[in-house]
């Protein structure tokens, strides 16, 4: 089985474009010690390093929340925009329409995404806007002191003993239903799985949703929470083991077709999924929705690549944008003069 690209050895190895791991870092985190969001930040840094992305080709986006603070903690040399609460998708869509050669990574929370930002989130998904969307899901509004969010499971309790009696919104099921072409669920405490899923998201063209359970150690890590480290560790069920082979490395190993599924991504990279307990094909939408429903009823925390469709055209292709990004076109090409406008008006008469 081929492994994901390697981390640097002690002493500081460079990646394929000659950068060190530290070139992908950001500012010092100000989050609580042990917060799941910091663990995700480390894996984002590692993934962009391993893939060999040029930091200046990345745009980092977020809304409001502890999770939305994290783009400050990775890729210091990338572009960045911290939007208002729940409005990151609109900003990301605008950035990608202006320059579709960038790689967009948006980080949001379950509050930012599944409540105030829900309207924006669903339209991002149905448009298939090219963006890696990392949903740091802790079941609470961490920044405003731990109220239940819309992804909290019914029956789970707050530290105060308050019981959640509302149903949870499953953002992965929603994304699959709305046609998102890369949908994965993972855990902040499982870097072995999270890194190849992030690498695959970098190689995908379209919206890539990663719903990552990310425990809030201050407000939602107690007995009775279904988003705690302990609960996630005890109930995690892996759909498969995930490996990533970047486009610049050939697949040299023979696969046993019965055991391993290989998915070719937009950029020529491959994701390999090695079967564990159950038969599962992530290219089958109905099957993906079925396993999600089933696992919810069983109280399992199902992780892995739930659904993938690398062929689905993204928003910039649907809009038939020119190869040259709009942001770089000469003003006379993007701002038609009075004569051109008059000609259009005449045609409409
Ligand atoms: C318009 C608006 N409404 C409410 C708030 C208050 N507020 C700030 S962050 C937040 C929720 C954050 O929760 P989540 O997105 O889950 O992030 P976490 O802190 O848990 O990572 C809320 C309600 C705000 N900043 N702006
Ligand atoms: S309050 Fe919770 S989500 Fe926010 S930084 Fe602390 S542990 Fe993380
Ligand atoms: Mg939250």
CB of residue 113 inside a 6 A radius of ligand 2: no
2 confidence band (pLDDT: 50, 70, 90): very low
CB of residue 138 inside a 6 A radius of ligand 2: yes
- Cα(207)–Cα(318) distance, integer angstroms: 13
Q: Which of 40, 107, 152, 219 to mutate to test the pocket of ligand 2 (most atoms within 8 A of CB)?
A: 219
- Cα(220)–Cα(278) distance, integer angstroms: 31
Largest CA distance in the chain: 71
Question: How much is the average pLDDT of 174-197?
Answer: 97
CB of residue 136 inside a 6 A radius of ligand 1: yes
Of the chain, the percentage scoring pLDDT greater than 70 comes to: 96
* Chain segment 27-60, per-residue pLDDT in tens: 999 999 999 999 999 999 999 999 999 999 999 9
99 CA → ligand 1 middle, Å: 29
Question: How much is the average pLDDT of 78-107?
Answer: 98
- Looking at the CA of residue 149, tell me the nearest atom of ligand 1: 16
CB of residue 111 inside a 6 A radius of ligand 1: yes
CB of residue 66 inside a 6 A radius of ligand 1: yes
- What are the phi and psi torsion angles at 57 (to 5°)? -90, 5
- Looking at the CA of residue 136, tell me the nearest atom of ligand 2: 3
The radius of gyration computed from the CA coordinates of the chain, to the nearest angstrom, equals 21
The closest of 95, 289, 280 to 180, measured between CA atoms, is 289
CB of residue 38 inside a 6 A radius of ligand 1: no
H helices present in 190-337, as ranges: 191-203, 229-235, 285-298, 315-318, 331-334
CB of residue 143 inside a 6 A radius of ligand 1: yes
CB atoms within 10 A of CB 33: 8
What pLDDT shows up at residue 3? 44
What pLDDT shows up at residue 91? 98
What pLDDT shows up at residue 158? 96
Q: Which of 66, 73, 137, 145 to mutate to test the pocket of ligand 2 (most atoms within 8 A of CB)?
A: 66
5 confidence band (pLDDT: 50, 70, 90): low
Specify the residue with its C-alpha closest to ligand 2, atom 6.
32
- Count of H helices and E strands in the chain? 12, 13
* Chain segment 106-164, per-residue pLDDT in tens: 999 999 999 999 999 999 999 999 999 999 999 999 999 999 999 999 999 999 999 99
- What are the phi and psi torsion angles at 174 (to 5°)? -60, -45
Specify the residue with its C-alpha closest to ligand 2, atom 5.
31
Give 318 or 7, the one with higher predicted confidence.
318
Q: Which of 72, 216, 225, 227 to mutate to test the pocket of ligand 2 (most atoms within 8 A of CB)?
A: 216
């Amino acid at each position: 089985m081929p492994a994901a690209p390697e981390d640097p050895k002690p002493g500081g190895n460079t990646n394929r474009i000659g950068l060190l791991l530290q070139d992908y870092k950001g500012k010092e985190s100000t989050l609580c010690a042990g917060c799941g969001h910091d663990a995700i930040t480390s894996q984002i840094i590692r993934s962009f390093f391993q893939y060999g992305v040029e930091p200046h080709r990345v745009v980092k986006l977020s809304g409001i929340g502890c999770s939305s603070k994290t783009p400050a903690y990775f890729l210091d040399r990338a572009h960045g925009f911290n939007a208002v609460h729940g409005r990151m998708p609109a900003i990301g869509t605008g950035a990608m329409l202006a320059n579709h050669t960038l790689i967009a990574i948006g980080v949001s929370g379950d509050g930012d995404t599944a409540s105030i930002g829900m309207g924006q989130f669903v339209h991002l998904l149905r448009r298939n806007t090219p963006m890696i969307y990392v949903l740091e899901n802790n079941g609470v509004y961490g920044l405003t002191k731990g109220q239940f969010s819309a992804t909290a499971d019914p029956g789970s309790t707050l530290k105060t003993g308050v019981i959640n009696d509302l149903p949870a919104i499953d953002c992965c099921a929603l994304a699959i239903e709305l046609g998102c072409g890369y949908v994965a669920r993972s855990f902040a405490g499982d870097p072995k799985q999270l890194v190849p899923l992030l690498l695959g998201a970098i190689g995908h063209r379209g919206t890539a949703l990663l719903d990552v359970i990310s425990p809030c150690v201050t407000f939602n890590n107690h007995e009775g929470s279904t988003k705690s480290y302990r609960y996630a560790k005890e109930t995690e069920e892996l759909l498969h083991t995930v490996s990533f082979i970047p486009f610049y490395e050939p697949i040299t190993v023979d696969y046993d077709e019965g055991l391993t599924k290989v998915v070719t991504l937009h950029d020529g990279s491959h994701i390999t999924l090695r079967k564990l307990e159950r038969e599962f094909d992530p290219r089958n939408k109905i099957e993906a929705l079925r396993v999600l429903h089933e696992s919810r009823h069983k109280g399992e925390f199902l992780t892995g690549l739930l659904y993938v469709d690398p062929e689905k055209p993204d928003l910039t292709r649907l809009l038939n944008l020119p190869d040259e990004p709009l942001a770089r076109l000469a003003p006379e090409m993007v701002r038609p003069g009075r004569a051109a406008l008059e000609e259009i008006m005449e045609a409409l008469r």
